[in-house]
Chain A
Amino acid sequence: MGSSDMADTTISKGFTDRMRRFFDSDIWYSFRRSPVAIVSTGITLVFFLAAAFAPIVAPHNPFDLAAIDIMDSNLPPAWDEFEGDTRFLIGTDDQGRDVLSTIIYGSRISLVVGFASVAFSLVLGVALGLISGYVGGRLDAFIMRVADVQLSFPAILIALLIDGVARSVMPRELHADLAFYVLIFAIGISGWVQYARTVRGSAMVEKSKEYVQAARVIGIRRGTILVRHILPNVTGPVLVIATIHLAIAIITEATLSFLGVGVPPTTPSLGTLIRIGNDFLFSGEWWITIFPGIALVVLVLAVNLMGDWLRDALNPKLR
């Protein structure tokens, strides 16, 4: 988080002030003192950067049909004495694509779907939570009842059902175009409850405080109070939930893609790569499925550890 700010060279007064405040903050202190946080944030950043600059970083373009050669198919990793090829560090898959490059392009898809679903959940959950907590009454009771019911089903099941049903309802061609959005919608809708519950609780507490009352007395509209006054006070917990939710969203996407109901096969995510490789497990080509698997676990573990650290750092009880 800090490093992207540092890269920015336009130094205005407000900016330096903000930077100074950031480096003096408890969060930065706790971050510097925690090796786990530094390593996990580093790994996550490496994934983000590799995914963002995939065409530059990846040694090959696995989706350029002219560049791949079927003669290179099923090559083991480069350190294999007999068939290893130094061009392909961790081997190639059944179509002769470089596994490392497909992983880099694949994590791009996984991260995009993960981020988009988290953003969708976050906006939906925070909005419903704010309204529910601030307005109260019947609306609150209704929203929370729906949340209760949804919470009694596992998120992955809801995502699977929505995605599966959408798949069979839509005509095949239409679904191929919309598969991404359907997937993001399915994963996103399965995760809003956590945000809504947390935000609702905070909104109910803030609502009765004097500064909100003051804002109401001077005639500020309800929507403005919610966004400008209450929302900034609930960002901490929301940030923690979002980080951990990102890990869950990435796993959910990978699982759905593994089951064959996720992203379309033309744009494989990490889950799709594992699914493809799984067919070759028995013939001994373990690298096609194991390396995308390792990439997935490392990414999710790093994001999880970052979330754990953030939760502890923002928790006033633990300071």
Chain B
Amino acid sequence: MLGFIVKRMIQSVIVMLTVALIAFALFRYVGDPINNMVGQDTTVEERDELRERLGLNDPFLVQFGRFAWASAKGEFGFSYQHRRPVRDLIAERLPATLELSMVSAVLALAVGIPMGVYTALRRDGFLSRAFMSLSLIGVSLPTFLIGILLILFFGVILRWLPTFGRGDVVDIGWWTTGFLTVSGLKAMIMPSITLALFQMTLIMRLVRAEMLEVLRTDFVKFARARGLPDRSVHFRHALKNTMVPVITITGLQLGSIIAFAIITESVFQWPGMGLMFIQAIGEVDIPIMAAYLVLIALFFVIINLVVDLLYLVVDPRLRVDRATANGQ
């Protein structure tokens, strides 16, 4: 088991180094860094001196090492566009993205799991069929189109909800939150539904499939034979055993929620990291792109690692399997 963890750690480090290498290559070889820093009237000698002073003539590995070390400390230099440290820009936008992602994840779970259980228990019910058909449409609806439709109905036609931005936010030290104001909460509704819908259908289908599988097993039949009430069989026996894959998939989906936030944020002009990244692509603002690359890779690596470890903790059968597999 220790071997498995170490293997995963090494794999994570390799992934991070690869992403850092791409980010570094962007930094170093797209355009001339010196040109991005100095004015037109700087002489060649001054440029060379600056180049030497900044260490741009050092060997590749030395430069890469310096970049990786700076990234690890969260230093990504100055944004070309905003003329401010990238670290500050990200710190400002991180709360917006994380709040949106968290609300969406909770929403997807809170609606997806009950729908999955219901469709599994009443397989041929009218409502179940409706849910299943709707979920297929949900899979075929691109995220941005859901957002546009919501904006059209609730923003343009009914005028109930704000269609862009975060509303008023409250600044609590290093974090800004939209949870404490009415306009902040209202602004949260449409983007979070947009972001949650796809995950919701995924979780619903997953819970349904797992429930159907578990309901066929002997121990559920046995629980029925013992005369336990349906409620107890369904929730204490069946649902509990479907939770392992649901936890894993939800954990992994947390990463894709953050990734899909790029789309939702640009539909709703939500001032988060995703919107900043899309704008950075348009402006060729390399420091922001590099920082976003490294940050998103870090998110994914951590999430995957935690989910793998959780898996081992939650399901004792896996521990034995892995141990024997590694022992061979």
A and B found bound together: yes
**Chain B contacts of A157 at CB under 8 A?**
256, 259, 262, 296
A301-B140 contact in complex given A165-B22, A286-B152, C-beta closer than 8 Å = yes
Docked pose: A254 CA to B145 CA in angstroms: 10
Docked pose: A152 CA to B255 CA in angstroms: 9
Residue interface bits B114-157, CB-to-A below 8 A is 1, else 0:
00000000000000000000001101111111001101100010
By the criterion CB–CB under 8 Å, are B143 and A255 in contact?
Answer: yes
A167-B252 contact in complex given A156-B259, A274-B148, C-beta closer than 8 Å = no
**Chain A contacts of B149 at CB under 8 A?**
293
Most buried by A among B22, B142, B255, B282: B142
Chain A residue with Cβ nearest B12: A149
**Chain A contacts of B281 at CB under 8 A?**
164, 167-168, 261
Quick one: which of A259, A284, A293, A305 contacts B263, CB cutoff 8 A?
A259
A152-B148 contact in complex given A168-B289, A259-B263, A261-B281, C-beta closer than 8 Å = no
By the criterion CB–CB under 8 Å, are B142 and A145 in contact?
Answer: no
Residue interface bits B264-303, CB-to-A below 8 A is 1, else 0:
0011000000000110011010100100010010001000
Q: Is B5 an interface residue (CB 8 A)?
A: no
By the criterion CB–CB under 8 Å, are A293 and B255 in contact?
Answer: no
Docked pose: A282 CA to B296 CA in angstroms: 33
Among A158-209, those with CB < 8 Å from B are 160-161, 164-165, 167-169
**Chain B contacts of A259 at CB under 8 A?**
144, 262-263, 266, 278
Docked pose: A259 CA to B11 CA in angstroms: 32
By the criterion CB–CB under 8 Å, are A168 and B284 in contact?
Answer: yes
Q: Is A134 an interface residue (CB 8 A)?
A: no
A149-B144 contact in complex given A169-B30, A261-B281, C-beta closer than 8 Å = no
Docked pose: A164 CA to B263 CA in angstroms: 14
By the criterion CB–CB under 8 Å, are A290 and B152 in contact?
Answer: yes
Docked pose: A145 CA to B139 CA in angstroms: 28
Would you list the 9 A-B pairs with minimal beta carbon distance, nearest first? A157-B259, A301-B140, A164-B281, A154-B256, A168-B284, A300-B140, A251-B142, A258-B144, A154-B259
By the criterion CB–CB under 8 Å, are A149 and B148 in contact?
Answer: no
By the criterion CB–CB under 8 Å, are B260 and A154 in contact?
Answer: yes
A161 CB to nearest B CB, Å: 7
Chain A residue with Cβ nearest B137: A301
B143 CB to nearest A CB, Å: 7
B198 CB to nearest A CB, Å: 10
Docked pose: A258 CA to B278 CA in angstroms: 11
**Chain B contacts of A237 at CB under 8 A?**
none
Residue interface bits B25-36, CB-to-A below 8 A is 1, else 0:
010001000000
**Chain B contacts of A30 at CB under 8 A?**
none
**Chain A contacts of B289 at CB under 8 A?**
164-165, 168
Chain B residue with Cβ nearest A154: B256
**Chain B contacts of A101 at CB under 8 A?**
none
Quick one: which of A149, A164, A304 contacts B140, CB cutoff 8 A?
A304
Q: Is B304 an interface residue (CB 8 A)?
A: yes
A168-B140 contact in complex given A156-B259, A281-B152, A296-B145, C-beta closer than 8 Å = no
- 11 A/B residue pairs, CB under 8 Å, sorted by A: A145-B11, A152-B300, A165-B22, A255-B142, A259-B278, A261-B278, A281-B151, A284-B156, A286-B156, A301-B137, A304-B140
Chain A residue with Cβ nearest B266: A259
- Given contacts A145-B11, A154-B256, A165-B26, 7 further A-B pairs with CB under 8 A are A156-B259, A167-B281, A168-B284, A259-B144, A260-B282, A290-B152, A297-B145
Residue interface bits A245-279, CB-to-B below 8 A is 1, else 0:
00100010011001111000000000000100010
Docked pose: A145 CA to B10 CA in angstroms: 12
Docked pose: A259 CA to B267 CA in angstroms: 9
Docked pose: A153 CA to B252 CA in angstroms: 9
A168-B286 contact in complex given A281-B148, A305-B136, C-beta closer than 8 Å = yes
Q: Is A132 an interface residue (CB 8 A)?
A: no
Chain B residue with Cβ nearest A153: B300
Query: Chain B interface (Cβ within 8 Å of chain A)?
Result: 11, 15, 22, 26, 30, 136-137, 139-145, 148-149, 151-152, 156, 163, 252, 255-256, 259-260, 262-263, 266-267, 277-278, 281-282, 284, 286, 289, 293, 296, 300, 304
Most buried by A among B15, B144, B289: B144
Quick one: which of B11, B136, B143, B148 contacts A278, CB cutoff 8 A?
B148
**Chain A contacts of B156 at CB under 8 A?**
281-282, 284, 286
Chain A residue with Cβ nearest B151: A281
**Chain B contacts of A154 at CB under 8 A?**
255-256, 259-260
B109 CB to nearest A CB, Å: 18
Chain B residue with Cβ nearest A256: B263
By the criterion CB–CB under 8 Å, are A160 and B262 in contact?
Answer: yes
A220 CB to nearest B CB, Å: 33
**Chain A contacts of B252 at CB under 8 A?**
152
**Chain B contacts of A145 at CB under 8 A?**
11
Q: Is A121 an interface residue (CB 8 A)?
A: no
By the criterion CB–CB under 8 Å, are A297 and B262 in contact?
Answer: no
**Chain B contacts of A304 at CB under 8 A?**
136, 139-140
Docked pose: A170 CA to B260 CA in angstroms: 26
Docked pose: A301 CA to B296 CA in angstroms: 31
A44 CB to nearest B CB, Å: 13
A156-B260 contact in complex given A167-B281, A169-B26, A297-B145, C-beta closer than 8 Å = yes
B10 CB to nearest A CB, Å: 11
By the criterion CB–CB under 8 Å, are B304 and A152 in contact?
Answer: yes
Docked pose: A289 CA to B147 CA in angstroms: 12
**Chain B contacts of A305 at CB under 8 A?**
136
Docked pose: A297 CA to B134 CA in angstroms: 13
By the criterion CB–CB under 8 Å, are A255 and B136 in contact?
Answer: no
**Chain B contacts of A290 at CB under 8 A?**
152
Docked pose: A286 CA to B151 CA in angstroms: 11
By the criterion CB–CB under 8 Å, are A274 and B145 in contact?
Answer: yes
Chain B residue with Cβ nearest A149: B15
**Chain B contacts of A293 at CB under 8 A?**
145, 148-149
